[in-house]
Amino acid sequence: MHLAARVAKLEAKHKQVLRCLWCRFSLRDVPPQEQKRNIVAPDSIMPTQCWFCGTRFVVPLRRRNEHQREAAALIYNSHPTKQFTDERVHAARIWLQLYHSEVKRYEKSKQDQSNSERTGQSRSNLSYNRTHRSLSSKDEKAKRDRAELAQRAFEFHQAQTERFKKLANGPDTFPLDQALERIENEYATFGL
């Protein structure tokens, strides 16, 4: 067996043994030849590590403004207990999820709806006439394995989050949560 094959085998085993379930599910492996081709500017990525297993990875920051980059830095580089004790980290998570305006989403959905109504007849006929090829047993097994890994990873992440919440011993809610709840009750929001 060649040295390169042995190293590849060891690296594959390392990923199975040392990575947590969440990293195995959420992190995408980039082959070495792809890494060489896709040279990335240092300011378009943020190096960080998993707080569960220590796996190092990068967060892409392309097309992110200064505020989004700051929120991402707060989220990824703060200890997980901080989201339960530090209101800035807690708010960064919420803000990053809600950054895109509901008005823009509403206008885009209306535009998509009007576009589909204009071309509705031709598209609807195409979607019903397509034949779907059946998956091979190997593809079905890979799909089942991926779904099982996803389920286990989400359970693992939820358990770890609860563990960090107990360790943090922080407040149950922040004033921001109460303000958002009050706004949500007073004003109807677009289909979230």
Q: Which of 49, 109, 107 is nearest to 78 (CA)?
A: 49
Q: Hey, is 124 helix, strand or coil?
A: helix
Q: Which of 83, 72, 91, 48 is nearest to 167 (CA)?
A: 83
pLDDT at residue 121, as a whole number: 47
Tell me how far apart the 2 most distant CA atoms of the chain are, in Å.
68
pLDDT at residue 189, as a whole number: 62
CA-atom Rg of the chain in angstroms: 22
Q: What is the pTM of this model?
A: 0.63
- pLDDT at residue 102 greater than cutoff 70: no
Helices (H) and strands (E) in the chain, counts: 10, 2
- pLDDT at residue 82 greater than cutoff 80: yes
Rounded to an integer, the average pLDDT of 114-131 is: 58
Predicted confidence band of residue 1 (pLDDT cuts 50, 70, 90): low
